[in-house]
Amino acid sequence: ILKRLVKAEKLEVVSHLAASISHEVRNPLTASRGFMQMLGEDEQNPIKKRYLSIAIDELDRAKDIIDDYLLFANSAPERPEQVDVGVEIQHVLQIMKPLANMNGVVLPPPSLLHGQAKVCGERKKLQQCFINLVKNSIEAMPNGGKLEVKLKKSGETVTVEIHDTGCGMTSEQISRLGEPYFTTKEKGTGLGTMVSFRIIHYMQGKVHVKSEKGKGTCFSIELPLCTKTAPKID
Ligand code: ADP
Ligand code: MG
């Protein structure tokens, strides 16, 4: 038992470290990217210009991996708190607005609930979960479309539905969702859905996916509401 405890503690330290290191690493990446871009703009030599653009692409790649992976190493809740799903959804849509605009995606305000829907988890992780899913929906609509988010409460659960009018998936692709490194994108990481699914799993939630190739996709995430009794955490 002692050995197992030590191992669990080590794992926790490592995953904590991974999460904080990734935060720290983003800043120097962003700074380097800025300087390289400046050098590239002034550069006349086409070969050097090309090298700089490759270097920038590689930095973007590193940033994508960190963004999708940031909390993965640490997706079991450490300090569970009560989180209002409606508030977090609104926050996430705010964050994703620039990406939606860039892709010509319209983002009507989410249909929220009257009153609160509190779930037990960690705010940052729940945000990461929704960010990864919303990002995928937007990326599925490179030529524009509509992203709708709906919240529904029923009995003991709250369900978040994320609808897009994007490229959709085949049933084979749906079945591979959540598999690490599964991606159909040229510059994908294949980590985003895996991270989201793990976070949902740790909150004892469920995911349903409906998708039709060429038409669109709907992810519904059903999460248990916080009850007065203490939450079960494994
Ligand atoms: P990445 O986005 O880096 O490819 P993800 O794990 O986030 O990795 O997604 C894995 C794959 O699942 C995507 O490459 C895409 O093929 C598919 N996918 C996920 N969400 C959607 C969606 N809303 N519409 C279409 N395909 C999707
Ligand atoms: Mg993704």
pLDDT over 70 (residue 154): yes
Which residue puts its alpha carbon closest to atom 18 of ligand 1?
136
Sign of the dihedral defined by the CA atoms of residues 186, 189, 150, 161, in that order: positive
Ligand 1 pocket check: which of 135, 149, 193, 220 to mutate, most ligand atoms within 8 Å of Cβ?
193
- Listed in sequence order, the residues at least 6 apart from 134 whose beta carbon sits closer than 8 Å to its beta carbon are 92, 93, 96, 147, 149, 162
**Closest Cα to residue 192, out of 232, 138, 136, 149?**
136
For residue 183, the ligand 1 atom closest to its alpha carbon is 14
Ligand 1 pocket check: which of 65, 72, 132, 136 to mutate, most ligand atoms within 8 Å of Cβ?
136
The pLDDT tens digits for 93-114 are 998 998 999 999 999 988 887 8
The mean predicted confidence, pLDDT, of the chain is: 88
As a whole number of angstroms, the distance between CA 25 and CA 10 comes to 22
Average pLDDT over residues 17-45: 88
As a whole number of angstroms, the distance between CA 223 and CA 205 comes to 4
- How much of the chain is helix, strand and coil, in % rounded to 5? 50, 20, 30
- The answer, yes or no, to whether ipTM is higher than 0.95 is yes
